[in-house]
Structure 1
Amino acid sequence: MIVRMWHGRVPHEKAAAYRAFLNERAVPDYRGTPGNLGVYVLERAAEDAVHFVTLTYWTDLEAIRAFAGDEVLKAKYYPEDAGFLLEFEPEVVHYEVVGGEADAGPAHVSH
């Protein structure tokens, strides 16, 4: 299993709208890709901005390629991101999962 990690920053006043966008548009896109095993959206408010991290779980690189294209380390952005993000980080980070255990996790998270 591979974890794909992306990071982005948005202004505080846009955080709630971006959270909604991620859950309504990005999460279903990830989940609708064969080979996606799950997705979590993390959020942390800091002085400079609100930081978002998406952790997506994939069966293999071929599944990631189906989602992101041939350049699997290149970050995938949506047209709507331009109205939220302070910058566009060019790459994501992949980690191979080599151990651990998890419960099923929350069925739905809301604020």
Structure 2
Amino acid sequence: MNEPSSRPAIARIWRGRVRRERADEYEAYNFEAGIRPLIEKVVGVQTFREDREGETEFVTISYWPSLEAMTALTGAAPTNVHHLLLDPEFLIELPQSVQILKLRQAYGRTG
């Protein structure tokens, strides 16, 4: 699915928070267990991190060509969260859903 001709039409946004002292550890784990397997299956993926005093928030945005492609890969409703094995150990609370947005316009260089 990760072909140069694929264009993103859908953004799937996941958010999770961890205790600040475990942020580096979770970031590495999240990449290996969650992001790396996703890279070749989507049009693109971006990760964001905001360090706060007592916690760190991570945001992952994956880009898909369609809702159908997302559903075909996950085998479930696109808004369902697919928790990683160690998420209950790391995350302050387990997210109950993700946000799905239709990409309307893109301007400039975002990649």
After TM superposition, the score normalised by the length of structure 1 is: 0.83
After TM superposition, list the pairs within 5 Å mapping 1:12-51 onto structure 2. 12-33=20-41, 36-51=42-57
Task: Work out whether 1:82 is the aligned partner of 2:88.
Answer: yes
Q: CA–CA distance in 2 between the matches of 1:59 and 1:21?
A: 27
SS at 1:72 equivalent? coil
Shift of 1:102: 4.7
Structure 1: state its 5+ residue gaps.
106-111
Shift of 1:101: 3.0
Alignment-mate amino acid for residue 83 of structure 2: Y
Task: Work out whether 1:94 is the aligned partner of 2:100.
Answer: yes
Deviations 1:75-103 (A, max 9, x none): 11111212211111110001100101353
After TM superposition, the score normalised by the length of structure 2 is: 0.83
Q: Indicate which of 66, 70, 78 corresponds to 1:72.
A: 78
Q: 1:68 to 1:23 in 2, by over 3 A?
A: same
- Percent identical across equivalent pairs? 29
- Residue in 2 aligned with 1:54? 60
Structure 2: state its 5+ residue gaps.
1-8
